[in-house]
Chain A
Amino acid sequence: MASTPAAADSIFRRNLASFAGNRLAMGSAIVVLLFVLMAVFAPWLAPQNPYETDLFRRLQPPAWVDGGEWGFLLGCDALGRDIFSRIIYGARISIFVGVTVIVVATGIGIVAGLAAGYLRGWVDVVISRIVDILLGFPYLIFAIGLMAMMGPGLGNIILALAYKEWVIPARVVRGETLAVRELEYVEAARALGASPRHIMLREILPNILSPVVVVSTIRMANVIILEASLSFLGLGVQPPMASWGSMVSDGRAFILEAWWVSTFPGLAILLLVLAINVASQGLRDAFDPRFHE
Chain B
Amino acid sequence: MTPLLQVEHLSKHYEGRRSLIERMTGVPHTVVRAVNDVSLSVGKGEILGLIGESGCGKSTLGRAILRLNEPNAGKVTFDGTDVTALDPLALKNMRRRMQIIFQDPYASLNPRRTVAEIVGLPLKLHGLASGEEARAITARIVERVGLKANQLDRYPHQFSGGQRQRIGIARALVSNPEFIVCDEPVSALDVSIQAQIIALLLELKREMGLTYLFISHDISVIGYLSDRVAVMYLGEIVEMGPVEDVLANPRHPYTQSLLSAVPEIEPQGRRARVRLAGDLPSPLNPPAGCKFHTRCPLATDICRVREPVSESVGPGHQAACHRLAEGLNLLDGAGA
Contact = CB atoms under 8 A, between A and B. Distances in A.
A207 B126 contact: no
A67 interface: no
Interface in B129-177: 153-155, 157-159, 168, 171, 175
A190 B155 contact: no
A185 B121 contact: no
A188 B100 contact: yes
B112 interface: yes
Contacts of A8: 114, 153-155
Contact of B110 (A1, A10, A207): A207
B154 A5 contact: yes
Interface in B100-139: 100, 102-104, 107-112, 114, 121-122, 125-126
B102 A188 contact: yes
Contact of B125 (A10, A11, A184, A194): A194
A190 B99 CA distance: 10
Interface string A7-49: 1101100000000000000000000000000000000000000
Contacts of A192: 95, 99, 121-122, 125, 171, 175
A191 B100 contact: yes
The 8 closest A-B pairs by CB, nearest first: A184-B108, A193-B95, A193-B92, A206-B112, A184-B107, A185-B110, A184-B102, A192-B122
A41 B148 CA distance: 52
A207 B107 CA distance: 12
A213 to B, nearest CB: 14
Nearest to B104: A184
10 contacts: A8-B114, A184-B103, A187-B63, A187-B68, A188-B102, A188-B109, A189-B110, A191-B68, A192-B175, A207-B111
Contacts of A198: 125
Contacts of A206: 110, 112
Given A188-B102, A191-B95, A191-B99, A183 B154 contact: no
B96 interface: yes
A124 interface: no
Given A192-B95, A193-B95, A206-B112, A11 B157 contact: yes
Interface range on chain B (Cβ under 8 Å from partner) = 20 to 34
Contacts of B213: none
Given A1-B158, A183-B107, A193-B95, 4 more contacts: A11-B111, A187-B102, A188-B102, A191-B100
Nearest to B181: A191
Nearest to B183: A184
A1 B160 CA distance: 9
Interface in A179-220: 183-185, 187-194, 198, 203, 206-207
A2 interface: yes
B35 interface: no
B108 A207 contact: no
A190 B93 CA distance: 12
Given A193-B122, A193-B126, A198-B125, A7 B158 contact: yes
A185 B107 contact: yes
Contacts of A11: 111, 157
Contacts of B93: 193
Contacts of B66: 191
A11 B112 CA distance: 10
Contact of A193 (B104, B114, B125, B154): B125
Interface in B251-294: none
A93 B121 CA distance: 45
A5 B153 CA distance: 7
A187 B183 CA distance: 12
Contacts of B114: 8
A188 B95 contact: no
Contacts of B104: 184
Contact of A190 (B68, B96, B168): B68
A202 to B, nearest CB: 8
B160 to A, nearest CB: 8
Contacts of A2: 158
Contacts of A189: 110, 121
A64 B63 CA distance: 76
A183 B154 CA distance: 21
Contacts of B91: 193
A193 B96 contact: yes
Interface string B44-72: 00000000000000000001001010000
Contacts of B154: 5, 8
A133 B201 CA distance: 54
A203 B111 CA distance: 9
Nearest to A2: B158
Most buried by B among A2, A5, A206: A5
Nearest to B98: A191
Contacts of B99: 191-192
A206 B111 CA distance: 9
A1 B121 CA distance: 25
